[in-house]
Amino acid sequence: MPRKRPPEDPESHDRWLVSYADFITLLFAFFVVMYAISQVNESKYRVLSDSLVQAFQNPSRLPDAQSPTNSPRSILGKEQGGIVGPAPGSPEDEAAIRAMMARMRELGAELSTMLDPLVKDGLVRVSETRQGLVIEINASVLFRSGQSALEPAATRTLSEVARVLARTRSAIAVEGHTDDVPIATPAFASNWELSASRAATVVRLFVENGIPAARLTAIGHADNQPVVPGGSPEARARNRRVAVIIQAEPLPGQPQLPRPASLPQAPAEPPAPVPAPAATAPPVAPGVPPVVPQPPTAVLPQK
């Protein structure tokens, strides 16, 4: 007797609903994503836009490992606009930036006129960099060879400069530079001490002439940032200098004076007192470690 086949299930004609449901789900997800993308947060978009504009149009905010005196542009020449302010966010900010830049250029012109005799002799250079104005003074105008005490004529000239700078709100950095000739005296064990002491001497004079100490920074670079490479007498004479860097004034609503990116911030507490040097040595500048007297050695001139 033949076996009976089990009854077959009727073929379903509704399987297309599964694929259709998947398609509708994916389509729904697609439109949800499109809707979410179309909802732009205007405030966040404006912040992003301003940040990008500032990054591409204001290179002074980017880290700069080079010295601010390495690539100066003459403030009296055709190339103006080296002082770059922050990206404008409103018409008021643009007006404040333009006013600040105009004041800095007027300051540069006033200083150039005041130092005109030395500028003509090539002993002083007033230039414009990304960070502000730079007054570069040859060391022969300020100091005797191997010394950090200001000459009387240099004291008078720097006092006039200080009285002009006292009217501004700019942060000021004073950098001392030497040539590559080693020095070893009871007062200065190396070019580091000499360059730092010269910068501190200028800073002390500025304070005495009315510039708040909180605006000032003294830095010694020794012979590590020459403007003219080589060991010729001309190159060494050019590299012995003091640079006074005048930062762009802060805009309204920015009470904190900005420090240069390459300069250290002032310590929160005053440094510990420096022990008095030997009786035969001149006073040591504040912040410069005491120098242990060494036996006299042969010292090359022209510092």
- The confidence score (pLDDT) of residue 159 equals 92
* Parallel, antiparallel or unpaired: strands 124-129 and 73-74: antiparallel
Q: What six digits make up the tokens of 51?
A: 């940040």
Q: Give me the chain's average pLDDT, please.
A: 74
The reported pTM is: 0.54
102-159 per-position pLDDT tens digit = 888 888 888 888 898 898 888 999 888 777 889 999 999 999 988 899 999 999 999 9
Amino acid making up residue 285: A
- The confidence score (pLDDT) of residue 241 equals 93
- The confidence score (pLDDT) of residue 200 equals 94
C-alpha triplet 231, 233, 239: angle, nearest 5°: 70
The answer to whether 209 touches 162, Cβ cutoff 8 Å, is yes
Q: 270 pLDDT exceeds 80?
A: no
Q: How far apart are CA 222 and CA 198, in angstroms?
A: 10
The pLDDT confidence band at residue 197, using thresholds 50, 70 and 90, is: very high
Q: Which residue has the higher pLDDT, 261 or 273?
A: 273
Q: Tell me what the mean pLDDT of segment 277-300 comes to.
A: 46
Q: How far apart are CA 253 and CA 85, in angstroms?
A: 14
- The confidence score (pLDDT) of residue 247 equals 86
At 245, is the secondary structure helix, strand, or coil?
strand
Q: 201 pLDDT exceeds 80?
A: yes
The pLDDT confidence band at residue 89, using thresholds 50, 70 and 90, is: low
- The confidence score (pLDDT) of residue 58 equals 54
140-153 per-position pLDDT tens digit = 999 998 889 999 99
Q: Which residue has the higher pLDDT, 32 or 44?
A: 32
Q: Tell me what the mean pLDDT of segment 272-295 comes to.
A: 47
- The confidence score (pLDDT) of residue 264 equals 40
Q: What six digits make up the tokens of 222?
A: 């020794």
- The confidence score (pLDDT) of residue 198 equals 94
